[in-house]
Amino acid sequence: MSEPKTPPAPAAGGRASTKKELPEHFKAYKHVWVYIEQERGQVHPVSWELMGEGRKLADKLGVELGAVVLGAEGETVRGAVAEAFCYGADIAYVVADPVLTDYRNEAYTSAMTDLVNTYKPEILLLGATTLGRDLAGAVATTLLTGLTADSTELDVDADGSLAATRPTFGGSLLCTIYTLNYRPQMATVRPRVMSMPIRVEKPVGRVVEHKLGVVEDDIITKILSFLPDRDSNKANLAYADVVVAGGMGLGSPENFQLVKNLAASMGAEFGCSRPLVQKGWVASDRQIGQTGKTIRPRLYIAAGISGAIQHRVGVEGADLIVAINTDKNAPIFDFAHVGIVTDAVRFLPMLTEAFSKRLSAHSRDKLAS
Amino acid sequence: MHIVVCIKQVPDSAQIRVHPVTNTIMRQGVPTIINPYDLFALEEAMRLRDKFGGEVTVLTMGPPSAEDSLRKALTYGADRAVLLTDRFFAGSDTLATSFALATAITKIGETYGVPDLVFTGKQTIDGDTAQVGPGIAKRLGLIQVTYVAKVADFDPAARTITLERRAEGGTQVLKSKLPCLVAMLEATNEIRRGSMENALRAARAEVVKWSAKDAGVQDMSKCGLKGSPTIVKRVFAPSARAEKAKFIEAPEGGNLADALIAEVFARQPNLEADLTALARGF
């Protein structure tokens, strides 16, 4: 860690703040924290993905990995705490109170900022879910610290600063963002951007229980009801094994059916690139990329998608990427493993038929021919 | 009733090009638009105004040219437009931006009446952070409700609002009190066509222009780069995979689709059995 020679004065020039001059009162901030997100009794898998990443950062820094669990007292919180240790936590910080039964910004922001101010972590990571982004924005503003949204890569550099990389300019370039002189350094990461760490059975370790600083009467917002999504409407894109997606190369909204057909022939999920959502051709929950879903399937087939960075960061975790595009110089061929230079509209029906034929064969022996 | 809608003028991202050699954004000639997500916020605000009376003020922070977006908002039917523009705001990150906008909203309150509601879009298409809405709410001490799919009920007399909020795995229905900040989800409504009357009014209307000082900013160190805790150290294009894609072509007398499938299953040997099992299950 570099020690400033002079007391940190308010930055004089516009760019002076790009030097690391961590104020004295922030030097006590240590350890990496991950927020373990629960909604309605379920821990969101992104929390475990972040634990894997948090573990790496903590080991590099030589500090502890803390798991933050907020919720109503009872089995749910206890279960999440126990799991957190199996995913690498050294310590768990828990605020358990009936006021925290359902997510409400006011109560959760209070709990989280209170924990941070009391136990002082240097890094705080949250999932970029609807809950995580709502909470992170409020917490960062309350603490007046920096927050990098939707990071696609996290690292600590030589002087121990968090380097958070994310797409920028509408997803055309990547940038690396630092919060040098404020603590904690906060970042959110989308589900599936980081790989799931291996769970190792471990006993519950140290648990710090902290009291919530607000009571129900302090909270203005009341939950009237919760309407769960119907399963039939739920696109399970993020966790699908095979995904087929279409882009502007399809030419018309009607041709998107060709993508759906191929997906159906393989039992795959279907998705699309951002322009199709912006044009209103496909519903937004099918969007793949930086501002949509991040996927890590075993096979990803991209049809008529050019491969802008904002799309690339959402699919790079796929084991095998097959791209179909008429333009052999399309950026998608820079990160696809297998390419076909042809018109997707013509090719997709043939591929659908070929897959159907091959997969409906009765034995594997027959398939070999 | 007074509603403030925060909008942002953004480059039409579909048109952004990256310079092939320098890897910098080529901004010249890129058309700008109102951030598409903000239009859902503007429409929702105007619907409430049309039903319950009152005024809608649109606010943006940006270069002088952002006046174009404000005039567009007036064309849609906003009652008043305020442009916050000052070189002190240059380089603002989300924390500094929320400070500037919150200060301006306070000033709008003093000048034109305290807002009952502040609307924003879910996020912008250039920054994509979704952080400025929560930032404004926290700085003004407003209740914050983000990812709102529907204003289910609104009672100006009781000063309550019932909102349907998109959550993980479902929809939260929650009731809150005014004043509050609502960040609208996309596809929740459709922006109206601007009327001829509004177009004429927008062309003549005065867009209120405030510098940092005009807006009541006392401490300039909270603005722009100085007020931004995050620092962008490096902007770069991702490198191509070391190995380029292997291009598959139709074999002599064979079929391209079969050739592709053979390649896929050769690379993912277990996938075929799993997909076959899945196909049998249908």
Q: Are residues B55 and B8 in the same domain?
A: yes
Residue A307, annotated as binding a ligand: yes
Q: Are residues A63 and A151 in the same domain?
A: yes
Distance of CA A322 to the CA centre of its chain: 23
Selecting from B10, B187, B279 the residue whose C-beta is nearest the C-beta of A284 gives B187
| pLDDT, position B12 | 81
Q: Of B187, B167, B150, B186, which is closest to residue B48 (Cα–Cα)?
A: B150
The pTM is what? 0.88
Min Cα separation A210/chain B (Å):
23
Contact A147 B133 (CB under 8 A): no
Which regions of chain B are under pLDDT 70?
A: 13-27, 240-241, 279-282
* Contacts A358 to B, Cβ<8 Å: 261, 272
| pLDDT, position A11 | 38
Residue A227 lies in a domain: no
Selecting from B134, B221, B238 the residue whose C-beta is nearest the C-beta of A138 gives B134
Contact A291 B231 (CB under 8 A): no
Task: Report the CATH number at residue A213.
Answer: 3.40.50.620
Residue A308, annotated as binding a ligand: yes
Residue A2, annotated as binding a ligand: no
β-strands A147-148, A185-189: how paired? parallel
| pLDDT, position B11 | 86
The CB density around residue A83, as the number of other CB atoms within 10 Å, is: 21
Write out the residue range of the structural domain in which residue B272 sits: 240-282
Pairwise CA distance, residues B60 & A102, whole Å: 34
| pLDDT, position A5 | 42
Contact A134 B256 (CB under 8 A): no
Q: How far apart are the first and last CA of chain A?
A: 63
| pLDDT, position A290 | 83
Write out the residue range of the structural domain in which residue A283 sits: 232-357
Distance of CA A67 to the CA centre of its chain: 17
Q: Are residues B247 and B151 in the same domain?
A: no
The CB density around residue A234, as the number of other CB atoms within 10 Å, is: 12
| pLDDT, position B128 | 86
Maximum distance among all Cα pairs of chain B, rounded to whole angstroms = 78
Pairwise CA distance, residues B145 & B165, whole Å: 7
User: Which of B40, B140, B153, B276 has the most A C-beta neighbours within 10 Å, making it the best mutation to test the interface with A?
Assistant: B276
* Contacts B258 to A, Cβ<8 Å: 354
| pLDDT, position A13 | 37
Pairwise CA distance, residues A160 & A175, whole Å: 18
List pLDDT tens digits, range A46-78.
999 999 999 999 999 999 999 999 999 899 999
Contact B236 A351 (CB under 8 A): no
Q: Are residues B254 and B150 in the same domain?
A: no
| pLDDT, position B22 | 63
Tens of pLDDT along chain A (369 residues)? 444 343 333 333 334 346 788 999 999 999 999 999 998 888 999 999 999 999 999 999 999 999 999 999 899 999 999 999 999 999 999 999 999 999 999 999 999 999 999 999 999 999 999 999 999 999 999 999 999 999 999 999 999 999 999 988 767 788 999 999 999 999 999 998 999 999 999 999 999 999 999 999 999 999 999 998 875 455 688 889 999 999 999 999 999 999 999 999 998 999 999 999 988 899 888 999 988 899 999 999 999 999 988 899 899 889 999 999 999 999 999 999 999 999 999 999 999 999 999 888 644 444 444
Torsion from C-alpha of A330, A333, A339, A341, nearest 10 degrees: 10
Contact A223 B16 (CB under 8 A): no
A338 backbone φψ class: left, alpha, beta (φ>0; ψ -120 to 50): beta
Residue B36 lies in a domain: yes
Contact B245 A150 (CB under 8 A): no
Q: How far apart are the first and last CA of chain B?
A: 57
Contact A177 B187 (CB under 8 A): no
Task: Report the CATH number at residue A313.
Answer: 3.40.50.1220
* Contacts B230 to A, Cβ<8 Å: 146-148, 177-179
Min Cα separation B206/chain A (Å):
31
Residue A13 lies in a domain: no
| pLDDT, position B104 | 98
Contact A338 B130 (CB under 8 A): no
Residue A274, annotated as binding a ligand: yes
Q: Are residues A240 and A306 in the same domain?
A: yes
Instruction: Tell me what ipTM this predicted complex has.
Output: 0.90
Residue B232 lies in a domain: no
Strand locations in chain B (E): 2-6, 9-11, 17-18, 25-26, 32-34, 55-61, 80-84, 117-121, 143-155, 160-167, 170-177, 180-184, 208-210, 231-236, 246-247
Q: Are residues A133 and A188 in the same domain?
A: yes
Q: Are residues A73 and A96 in the same domain?
A: yes
Residue A368 lies in a domain: no
Instruction: Report the domain count for chain B.
Output: 2
Q: Are residues B82 and B186 in the same domain?
A: yes
Q: Are residues B86 and B191 in the same domain?
A: yes
Selecting from A18, A178, A298 the residue whose C-beta is nearest the C-beta of B271 gives A298
Q: Of B48, B43, B45, B61, which is closest to residue B4 (Cα–Cα)?
A: B45
Residue A264 lies in a domain: yes
- Non-local (6+) Cβ contacts of A149 within 8 A are A128, A133, A136, A166, A187, A188, B128, B129, B130, B131
Structure tokens at A1: 């860690």
Residue A291, annotated as binding a ligand: yes
Instruction: Report the domain count for chain A.
Output: 2
Q: Are residues A241 and A172 in the same domain?
A: no
| pLDDT, position A355 | 92
**Domain's final residue, options A218, A241, A258:** A218
> What's the full length of chain B, in residues?
282
Residue B251 lies in a domain: yes
Task: Calculate ∠ Cα B174-B180-B183, nearest 5°.
Answer: 75
